[in-house]
Amino acid sequence: MEDKEASQKLIDRCKGSLYSAVIADTLDSLGYHNQIVRPGLKPLTSESVLCGFARVGLYMPVYHDDEEMRVYENEIALVDSLKPGDVPVLICHGNLRISPWGELLSERSVFLGAAGCLTDGCVRDARQIQDLNFPIFCGGTNPADTKYRGKMIMSDVPGEIGGVSVARGDMVFGDVDGIVIVPSSKINEVVKKSLEKVSKENIVRKEIRAGHALVDIFAKHKIL
């Protein structure tokens, strides 16, 4: 999103009011049935909520290093170009031999105002990242560097993570239940409808606690 202030307000509202399940339901209702990243990518801490706009990096395996490899060149360039609200989405095609993310990249990203990171590879320096309170969703932890093992070959191009297509500017939302990708063209509509659904669910919750039958509640509010 181009308007930085509006983007940050949207991120704050989503993190404060929404959760992955309600966004997934909204996407389903709009005909987007393949926006949930396959289970397996987890937050470093269960309290983490990730919400921001995708910046995609594609990795390939490598098995050596030399002067021409320049293994860090593209990932450093991507991180240095991050804007407030950006989320690096580092696609390793499930390669858990590498940790394309660690403490120093997190430190730089925090300074730049990035919103977190999503990768289907691993991360390292987990304890230090947790101390930064920087949301990370990943395939696991592994102390292995990318050097000798993997290299970012392209950035800001379309990709696929966990079976879901993702492109620059798509909204990435993750919490303890999982991760959803919202196409950039649908962000405002999905957020609006998700907030409306949350309001209805809050009413329904009160009626459930008051002892009303589910069949009557769901028929009345039509939230299913």
| pLDDT tens per residue across span 75-110 | 999 999 999 999 999 999 999 999 999 999 999 999
Please tell me the distance from the alpha carbon of residue 61 to that of residue 73, in angstroms, as a whole number: 15
| pLDDT score for 224 | 65
Mean pLDDT, residues 19-26 taken together: 97
Q: Which amino acid is at 169?
A: G
| pLDDT tens per residue across span 41-55 | 999 999 999 999 999
- For residue 131, the number of C-alpha atoms closer than 13 Å in the C-beta half-sphere is 8
Mean pLDDT, residues 20-49 taken together: 97
| pLDDT score for 2 | 60
| pLDDT score for 219 | 84
The pTM (predicted TM-score) of the whole model is: 0.93
- Least confident among 41-45, 185-189, 205-209, 219-223: 219-223
Tokens at 174, concatenated: 């993750």
The answer, yes or no, to whether residue 3 has pLDDT greater than 80, is: no
| pLDDT score for 186 | 98
- Of the pLDDT bands very low, low, confident and very high (cuts 50, 70, 90), residue 22 is very high
Mean pLDDT, residues 131-137 taken together: 97
**Residue owning tokens 């459930």:** 208
Mean pLDDT, residues 112-134 taken together: 97
Tokens at 179, concatenated: 């991760």
SS (H, E, C) the chain: CCCHHHHHHHHHHHHHHCCHHHHHHHHHHCCCCCCECCCCCEECCCCCCEEEEEEEEEEEECCCCCCCCCCCHHHHHHHHCCCCCEEEEEECCCCCCCCCECHHHHHHHHHHCCCCEEECCCECCHHHHHHHCCCEEECCECCCCCCCCEEEEEECCCEEECCEEECCCCEEEEECCEEEEECHHHHHHHHHHHHHHHHHHHHHHHHHHCCCCHHHHHHHHCCC
Please tell me the distance from the alpha carbon of residue 80 to that of residue 183, in angstroms, as a whole number: 24
Domains of the chain: 4-184 (3.50.30.40)
Identify the bridge partners of residue 138 per DSSP, sorted by sequence position: 42
- Average pLDDT score, the chain: 95
Biggest distance spanned by C-alpha atoms of the chain: 70
The answer, yes or no, to whether residue 1 has pLDDT greater than 70, is: no
- Of the pLDDT bands very low, low, confident and very high (cuts 50, 70, 90), residue 139 is very high
